[in-house]
Structure 1
């Protein structure tokens, strides 16, 4: 049967799958950040998601995302506030199971907030390079299945993340390295791709 509404329990399973992926492969994110930043990205995001696993709560998607936001806002590094803002804006969504249209609206609001705070656009070699394509995929999908909609978003996010290899950064520490970090995949964009991929396990 087609799943037309994302529940709180499914959202928790999604977050747990994302946390498992990040914790397992945090060294990959750290190595990318070492090449283009200060090398603490994997540790920071992994630490936040370990806390999220313990503190995860909520009866609907908005409440679950808000609980994740709280753990990121308490974490260090430049990524913590950005992830905290993103999940916090998702946490402002409907207090009920979410249809695909709710997903599209929530991610549009959340991604817009990150773009404004970070002053980042597509092509700047940041997490926005994965966030925006995923958000656009949700807005343009014709499916009523949240699972299929997120599958489409995951494909778009992964393509966006992959595109950051070859970019010269315009934001963050990588912007100081110029062409020296051009071929490095942006760890923030990669983590966003992992986030949408993790919905498959919800």
Structure 2
């Protein structure tokens, strides 16, 4: 980052709110895809759970006129919605967004983004006991976070675009993996060629920022 960062280089609360809105739209449009992936490798409720959580999150963002104040407030509102949802994904995404919600209460620089996502992703890894290669959402979270913390971008949009490419590559890599965590681990090779729906959703989250 260069000194004298402009306001446009930082992630504002309004931009974070728009980011989550685009992500919600993306999940709503692809809920059947997520459900199909989870049906082939899990219990089939992932698409419904994440979709309903984001609907609640969007309602919370629309109802609270203070969510545009800073990114942390936006992410905390999303966390609350996920923590109220079912399935194993709810607590994990709730924790992830919750740790993001503990970030600075001001617009975020690229350094702030990297620090916040680093803390959030590490919390998910500890709670779920998952590592890269276990065929979980962590396979997309970790490379995206690494891109944010090691990149040289000057603006949040550039940084998140790099994270999106890393998350997509991570999600795609789960096709061909034998799961080591979650319900898919009970299926072994039968679910080997199925993309992990959690990792796909994480990739969609980062890619959604490109349309803000």
After TM superposition, the score normalised by the length of structure 1 is 0.98
Partner of residue 67, structure 1: 77
Question: For the residues of structure 2 that align with 1:186 and 1:88, how far apart are their CA atoms?
Answer: 22
- Describe how 1:101-116 pairs up with structure 2 within 5 A: 101-116=111-126
Distance 2:152 2:24 in 1: 29
Alignment deviations for residues 120-141 of structure 1 (CA, whole Å, 9 cap, x no partner) = 0000000000000000000111
In 2: Cα distance, 1:46 partner to 1:52 partner: 10
Aligned pairs (5 A) from 1:23-172: 23-56=28-61, 57=64, 58=67, 59-172=69-182
Q: Is the 8 A contact 1:100 1:146 kept in 2?
A: yes
Matched, 1:189 2:199: yes
CA distance in 2, matches of 1:28, 1:184: 12
| SS of residue matched to 1:102 | helix
**CA deviation map 1:52-83 (0-9, x unaligned):** 11111421000000000000000000000000
Runs of 4+ in structure 1 off by over 6 angstroms are none
Residue-by-residue CA offset, 1:131-168 (whole Å, 9 max, x unaligned):
00000000111111100000000000000000000000
Q: What are structure 1's unaligned runs of at least 5 residues?
A: none
Cα distance, 1:2 vs structure 2: 8.4
1:201 deviates by 1.8
Give the equivalent residue in structure 2 for 1:14.
19
- Structure 2: which 5+ runs fail to align? 1-5
Q: What RMSD over aligned residues (CA atoms) do the two structures have, in Å?
A: 1.0
Alpha carbons 1:3, 1:147 under 8 Å: kept:
no
Q: CA deviation at 1:3?
A: 2.8
